Amino acid sequence: MFEFKFADIGEGITEGELLEWHVKPGDSIEKDGLVVEVMTEKVNIEIAAPVAGIIKETRYKVGDIIKVGEVMFTIEESGTAPVKGKKTPKIKEKPKEKDDSLFVASDKVTRRRKSDVELNKPQTPTKVAVDQVFQQEIVSERPLTSPGIRREAREKNIDLRHVKGSGSGGRITREDFEYHLQQGPVGQPSAGFIPVIPRQLQVPRGSEKRIPIKGIRRAISKSMARSKQTAAHFSYFDEFDMASLDKLRKDARAYAEKQGIPIKVTYLPFIIKAVTRSLIEHPTLNASMDDEKEELILKGFYNIGIAVDTPNGLMVPVIKDADQKSIWQLSTEIKDLADRARIGKLKLDEITGGTFTLTNVGPIGGLMSTPIINHPEVGIIGIHKGKLRPVVVEDSGKPEIVIRRMMYLSISVDHRVTDGANAARFMNQVIGYLENPASMFLDIM
């Protein structure tokens, strides 16, 4: 009897949430046949059978949390001979041109198929006409269907939550999927179409509704609670005059357009530059905390996390060696990581290894925020909306009120490892670079 135990795929994974069984006890299974899908706080994975045989037992149900090392299912082995009866589909080998959503499992992971593991990509918002936005009903928050249909749905921008399944337990069959394709627009959006906005949960007046905290939201919940319960948060606020930065950004955009460089330069690459240069002078902020050993680990590399708001929750892709990259490289990488974060195509090594994080709430609005540290890091900066405001300046030698574009910045640090004065000095240096951005590039001239 072969027992399959849930294994750590790396980066400290300790548990996963069971998304879907593709077999049931009594089913025949071939080696490398798809058995189950599991969501971890890092990635979603498909688990295949390491041996051929008969499924004897499945020990968890959909939605259960599985700890690393626990037995998930058992197989009565039948050697390498073909197995008669109902067979589960093999996980197809990926084509030679690998998609960005793939990563190769670590050699340390045993009893897992050797082919690439595909991230379970969140559905891209379906495009519908304006008058149809409120007509699409969510049939199931977690629809059951085959991997092939899921893959085709992603390719055609179909949200499977809106597809009515006629199979057992509401499972979406091939016929259900084909019928749905005939009922509404698919593929590339045309003029007059807008992305579906997820319907907010409706709770009848006078009633209550319990919603399980699962998946990515559960991972975010645990991470934020751990940070607040562990790190001694201290927050500091300041503002800076965007005049010089705004001019440099506009000049960079004009240059890119003139040279035919397909890049839309934003403020964020310049802020990343200012932060990385300042971190070099403040190494205790480019660090992580080992709570068990009570040691501060200083990092000699600068990997900047950028928080991205996605349909499935907050993701923090990481720009590796940000201090070594140009404004053009940063602009390209920011857009690439953010775009792939929103459609769930980030690789494991693109969401790990950060040393400091930036979160930009400016596009949404608001004046200030107190960001929560991305533990075990020890600092995070909040970027806010640049707004025209009346300010007092003394450019001509006497005070006068002028209209300037100003931006608030906030920083949260772990007070266990650094003091407020150090955080203030760090922010002063960041703002100094942003108000005089040319100074960031003097050492390369």
pLDDT for position 262: 86
Where are any strands of DSSP class E within 260-344? Answer: 287-290, 295-298, 304-310, 313-315, 318-319
Which amino acid is residue 120, in one-letter code?
Answer: N
pLDDT for position 417: 93
Residue 373 in tokens: 């540290």
Cβ contacts of residue 253 below 8 Å, gap of 6+? 264, 265
pLDDT for position 101: 31
Q: Could you give the 3-state DSSP secondary structure of residue 431?
A: helix
Query: How many C-alpha atoms does 430 have within 13 Å on its Cβ side?
Result: 30
Which amino acid is residue 181, in one-letter code?
Answer: L
pLDDT for position 200: 55
Single out the catalytic residue among 162, 233, 384, 415. 415
For tokens 């597809």, name the residue. 163
pLDDT for position 376: 93
Could you name the CATH architecture of 217-444?
A: 2-Layer Sandwich (3.30)
Compute the CA torsion angle 132, 137, 142, 147 (nearest 10 deg): -50
Q: Could you give the 3-state DSSP secondary structure of residue 53?
A: strand
Fold designation for 2-118 = OB fold (Dihydrolipoamide Acetyltransferase, E2P) (2.40.50)
Closest listed residue to residue 154, CA positions, set 86, 190, 87, 101: 101
Domain covering 127-195 in this structure, CATH number: 4.10.320.10
- 415 flagged as catalytic: yes
Question: Which mean pLDDT values do the consecutive 10-residue runs of the chain (445 residues) have?
Answer: 81 78 92 86 78 94 89 83 48 40 31 33 38 42 74 77 76 79 47 40 83 78 90 96 95 91 91 97 95 94 94 88 95 93 82 94 86 95 94 89 95 95 97 94 68
Spans of all domains in the chain:
2-118, 127-195, 217-444
